[in-house]
Structure 1
Amino acid sequence: MGDKGEILDIKIADLKATAPHFQTHSTDLAKALTKLRTALGAAGSPWGDDEQGTAFHRAYGPHVTQLENAAQILSGGLASVHEAMTDMADGHIDHEELVRAMFGRISVKGGESEGDGR
């Protein structure tokens, strides 16, 4: 058992306190992605449409799309970590109460475990 009677010694308060940070950073990243898309959209094609500009865009364009997609995935991932940590904390509370109830019915006498008469 943990220091405060926890059976599995998972710090539920830490999980619940940390989880919102993932949501905050997810939101921050989504805002940054919107700013990036807006700025790049406003810039248009400043490299021009000559041969050199076309070659640059052919190399540059796909990377912008990959960066935007990766940032979108990361933003969603951070949000899901927030949800998962919150669910894990809530589930752990329920699980710990179940384990405590199961083992609370067992008494130890003379080194042998005895059930609750079932």
Structure 2
Amino acid sequence: MGESGEILDIKIADIKATAPRFHHESVALAHALTKLKHGLAEAGKPWGDDEQGEKFHKSYGPHVQQIEHATKILVAGLASIHEAMVDMADGHIDNEELIRSMFSRIRTGHDAKGDHR
């Protein structure tokens, strides 16, 4: 529980303000990956075709693919966090409105004359 005794202290404005950052970083990371892939493709095999160059590429090549794959997963993950935060904020607003409407229909047990029902 929070200090005020609330079980959930969700600040919708904070969620909505923070969510776009995940989208922005997802896009930035995707651009960085594209730049890396193009840069590596343009560089070709700067380590050469000799024995040392082949040994280097044998160790280096698979890691490039792993890095690209892992980065794609991170890009998708950041984008999904953005979407989830927006959905969570919207869902919380909808839930609060539903609860508010349910409790607004509850009577206190007394009619207008003060008689107990």
Q: 1:15 to 1:82 in 2, by over 3 A?
A: same
Unpaired stretches in structure 2, ≥5 consecutive residues: 110-116
Corresponding residue number in structure 1 for 2:52: 52
Could you state the TM-score of these two structures normalised by the residue count of structure 1? 0.81
Separation in 2, partners of 1:82, 1:9: 20
Could you state the TM-score of these two structures normalised by the residue count of structure 2? 0.82
* Count of paired positions: 107
Separation in 1, partners of 2:86, 2:99: 20
Cα deviation per residue 1:24-82 (whole Å; 9 max; x = unaligned)? 11111011111100111111011111221111111000101111111111011111111
Give the residue type in structure 1 aligned to 2:24: T
Separation in 2, partners of 1:20, 1:107: 42
Give the number of the structure whose residues are more often strand, by fraction: 1
Unpaired stretches in structure 1, ≥5 consecutive residues: 110-116
Runs of 4+ in structure 1 off by over 4 angstroms are none
Q: Write the mapping of 1:37-116 to structure 2, written as runs, cut at 5 A.
A: 37-108=37-108
Separation in 2, partners of 1:73, 1:8: 31
